[in-house]
Every structure is written in structure tokens, then in C-alpha cells.
Amino acid sequence: MIDDFMLESILSHFNLPGKLVKAERFGSGLINETWLCEFMDHGAGRKLILQRINRAVFARPDLVMANVETVTEHLQSRFKKEDVSDPAGVTPALVRARSGRSFHIDGSAEYWRMYHFIEEGLVFDTVQDNVHAYEVGRGLGRFQALVSDLAPDRLYDTLPGFHHTPLHLAELDDAVGRDARGRLADAAAEVAFVQARRDLAPLLTDLVANGRVPVRVVHNDPKVNNVMVHAATGKALCMLDLDTVKPGIVHFDFGDCVRSAANPAGDDADLDSVFFDRSRYAALSRGYLDEARSFLTQAETRLLPLSVKVITFELGVRFLADHLRGDTYFRVSRPGHNLHRSRVQFRLLESMESAGL
């Protein structure tokens, strides 16, 4: 457990704006742990985000932070060129530790980092309407456009195989074979569902292997709540959660964004409310292409729809494997949570199939 005393001790290693008045858990991420910290500086309130990087997921937090530095600095320099006076107000910006580094390592070798809080921004866990879906797509397209002049080899591969669907399938096979927690009997229908769709797995990795589409800097986790919109105007502001930004293909991003935005009930919904909403998909695609058209090749554009079922399948497979393994990767808040999450993705995939995708 992390208590207030520990938080204050961690915070003392960063350059902070005044005195801490409040710190509380924040956000709905499944990997890192996040706090919103409020400070008072000469009568003015200031907010910062504090995060502990999940070392079980990211074996090299130092390289994650090197990537985050490269990407945030690149984004800020692009905004400066566009004469934005305070880039930290519209795109993620790190707060330096007193050591001069972008992170602090505590006595237990845990990595901590801080971001400026974007006061004008807002995120939602689910898509609110088609206007929001359009902006979510546009936010992703704009992000990819902003990093399209950043050479992929400047970033480390911090999660090898992250969107290698066949590898996730092999991990599921392994978890099924071991059945370490005796959970297989209750998940037989889901395992059979996956077996019937194994052909989906290599579709995107084949595109990479055959060089049919270029490798670029991509986000890799652009679900709805990682696209920040402007609180007053609803317009896309920026992408959050830059830990997974690394070389990849735009299809990983497009598929994940559609998967998350075209299921209006969200990733943790009641199964009966899960469906693939074609109008959300159309709105998101319009927003995405309005920004991404400027740099995508014809082949990339043509192959975009292929990604949607593959990434939905992949996430369902990841949740199912984690359930069988004993919930070692995704944070859960109740028994069977990861099994339920996999069912949501598989129900969504079925709905995509019915819609002829």
C-alpha cells in the first residue's frame, strides 16, 4: 500500500509548484498507478499527475522514459513551431525530478514520473456521440501526423511483440495447456470461440513482415480514454498515455481506436449492451482520415478496415489468457473480471462479423 507519507516522500524528489494540498487516485488505466496531486502556490492552485510505472509490464522503465521524453519533446517542438505559447497546456509534458532526470527511482527500484495536468482537457471512458467519435478519430490522426516526421529508429521497442497477435495466441495456448488456476472449465466457450478464428491472428503481422505498409511511430493504445478533448469545445486536444508509443503500423492504432469507440457501452459493459455501432465507426473514420490522409499511402488507407477485427480479437485473447494465468497482467477489481472483459471483446467481434466487417 502507498500511504500519504510515502507519496510526500516521492514528491519531494520533483520540482513542485508550492505546497501539496491533496493527492488522490486518478483515471481508469489497467497498468500503471496514477494520482492527481494538487498544490497551492501563493494562493494559486496547480495540479500535476504522478504515476508509478508498472515494472511487471515494462521490464525497462528507463527506456520507456527515454521514449516518452523523445515523443513529448517532439510534440512540444511541433506546437512551438505553430506558435502555441504554452505547449504544456495542450500536450503531455513531463515535470523534471530534482536530479534533472525525467523520473525518480525509489528505494524499491520503482520508477515514478510526473506530468503537467492539462486543465482544459477532458477524457471519457466511452464515446458520447458521433461528434465525439469523429474527434477521437481526428485526435489519433493528428497525433500520428505530428510524429510522422519522427524517425521510428529513435524509439526503443519497450514491449517486444506488443501487437504481435500470433504471439498472444501462443500465450493463450500455453495458458490453456497449463490451466494454472483451474479456470479452464468455465472458459471453454471462449477458448472454442478463439479456436474458430485463429486465421485472424497473422493478418496484421503479415503486413509488417511483407513490407506492404511502412513502419512508423504509432501510439499503440489509442482507446477512447487516451484521446483528450477540449472541455469547452469538445475538439480533440491530444493523446495521453505515451508509454506504448514506438515503431509499428498505423493499423494497430486504427483498429484499437475503432474497437474501443464503436462499442458505445465500453470495454467493461454488460454483455447484452455490447454491439458494433456502424455510425460511430463511420464518424471515427472520417475524423481519422481528415488528419491522416496527409501522410498515409494508398495501401495503408485501403488496408485500414482489416485491422478492426484483428485488434478486437487480440485484446479478447489477451484478457482470456490473463484470466487463465491468474490475472498477472491486467489489474482486476473482482473475480472473473478478465474473463468478462474477454467476453465483451468477443461479443463485439461477433457483432462486427454480423455487420459484415
Provide the binding-site residues for Mg ion, judged by CB under 5 A. 29, 241
106 within 8 A of 112, measured Cβ to Cβ = yes
Smallest gap from Cβ 260 to ligand GN1, in A, equals 8
How many residues are given for the chain?
357
Q: Give the C-alpha separation, 81 to 29, whole Å.
A: 32
102 or 338: whose CB is closer to ligand GN1?
338
Q: In this structure, how many other beta carbons lie within 10 angstroms of the beta carbon of residue 184?
A: 17
Site string (267-306) toward ligand GN1, x via CB under 6 A: x---------------------------------------
C-alpha torsion sign, points 32, 262, 144, 297: positive
Q: Give the C-alpha separation, 337 to 331, whole Å.
A: 9
Q: Applying CB under 6 A, does 244 fall inside the site for ligand GN1? A: yes
220 within 8 A of 204, measured Cβ to Cβ = no
Q: Applying CB under 6 A, does 314 fall inside the site for ligand GN1? A: no
Return the residues of window 8-47 that contact ligand GN1 according to CB under 6 A.
Answer: 29-31
Smallest gap from Cβ 241 to Mg ion, in A, equals 4
Q: Give the C-alpha separation, 113 to 101, whole Å.
A: 10
Smallest gap from Cβ 19 to Mg ion, in A, equals 29
29 or 336: whose CB is closer to Mg ion?
29
Place of cell 494559486: 44
Smallest gap from Cβ 255 to Mg ion, in A, equals 17
Q: Applying CB under 6 A, does 315 fall inside the site for ligand GN1? A: yes
Name the binder of 30 from ligand GN1, Mg ion, none, CB < 5-8 A by kind: ligand GN1
The closest alpha carbon to 157, from 58, 274, 257, 275, belongs to 58
- Three-class DSSP category at 210: coil
Q: Applying CB under 6 A, does 171 fall inside the site for ligand GN1? A: no
Q: Applying CB under 6 A, does 342 fall inside the site for ligand GN1? A: no
Q: Applying CB under 6 A, does 227 fall inside the site for ligand GN1? A: no
Q: Give the C-alpha separation, 153 to 233, whole Å.
A: 36
Name the binder of 315 from Mg ion, ligand GN1, none, CB < 5-8 A by kind: ligand GN1
CA dihedral (251, 226, 258, 248) in degrees, to 10, reads 10
Name the binder of 169 from Mg ion, ligand GN1, none, CB < 5-8 A by kind: none
Residue numbers at the binding site for ligand GN1 (CB under 6 A)? 29-31, 57, 221, 223, 241, 244, 267, 315
